[in-house]
Structure 1
């Protein structure tokens, strides 16, 4: 009968739906980062950086085969600084190959976000891909955190902030 086969298919489908989140969870745990499943297809972790403690969030959308990956650099923008921050984000996003920064209008939080298409086949998300997603998000947050701070607290224009923060140093002191 076909009924047991459907049950097997449903069980397999349920396992596949959570697979990217399970791989992210394994990666976060391997790094020693505290993490928690916040619902079906969602996980949140806390990762240390040199500038801030970052919240990493993975949200799996099985119907689209998309893993949404977010990193929050612990930067909140007050209403009076939003225009300058929108300009800053435009300049920052020109520097990125993958993902983008945005300002969430409801909360004033800055977030780094990108989506990854994850094949629904047997391969799913690999441990190496989970590492790449996480490390790329953290690297961009670390690279641009000073830019955000220069605009918010240092009184610099967006252009000045990017120039000051992205100076390439030669040699070591």
Structure 2
């Protein structure tokens, strides 16, 4: 990889990582990339947004879950319980659309030539995918399974051992 980096370098590195994984992606602007990845539960849209003025890379993952108004209270409670379990990033529900999103931001100082590495791109992307996969069932249990947020978390976080 070139030693010289422009302000768009974090997006370029994400693009390289997405392409190496075989995830379809496209640039949607100078400092933005959109990609998608298949998981066990859903197709996830990933979005990287680089803000050079703040030196912040925001990474978003959308698990294709839209919450109806009547279920938003239960989902807010679920989000609180889920976010207690996370070490990186958080889930939220956008108030206007009811979309669930996983969001993580990273401060990068590209002025010193460091920028985002492929290892960091992998860590950010894989963490988002893993957390979406781990907690997707919680949302489904609450939205469609009639479970309370506490029951949904307990059911989704059961550790399995061995093979079925």
| TM-score interval, normalised by the smaller of the two chains | over 0.9
Q: If you compute each CA radius of gyration, which structure gives the higher value, 1 or 2?
A: 1
TM-score, normalization by structure 1: 0.90
Which residue number corresponds to residue 8 of structure 1? Answer: none
Matched, 1:26 2:16: yes
Structure 2 SS opposite 1:75: coil
Gaps of 5+ in 2: none
Please give the alpha-carbon distance, in whole angstroms, between the structure 2 residues aligned to 1:169 and 1:47: 25
Partner Cα distance (1:101, 1:83) in 2: 15
Partner Cα separation in structure 2 for residue 167 and residue 26 of structure 1: 35
TM-score by length of 2: 0.95
How far the C-alpha of 1:172 sits from its partner, in A, is 2.0
Match of 1:52 in 2: 42
User: Is residue 83 of structure 1 aligned with residue 47 of structure 2?
Assistant: no
Q: 1 CA distance for matches of 2:39 and 2:162?
A: 23
Structure 1 segments (4+ residues) deviating >6 Å: none
Q: Distance in 1 between matches of 2:8 and 2:96?
A: 29
Q: Does the alignment pair 1:68 with 2:68?
A: no
Match among 129, 132, 145 for residue 154 of structure 1 = 145
Shift of 1:171: 2.0
2:48 and 2:161 map into 1 onto residues whose CA distance is: 36
Alignment map for 1:1-173 (pairs within 5 Å):
16-120=6-110, 121-173=112-164
**Unaligned runs of at least 5 residues, structure 1:** 1-11
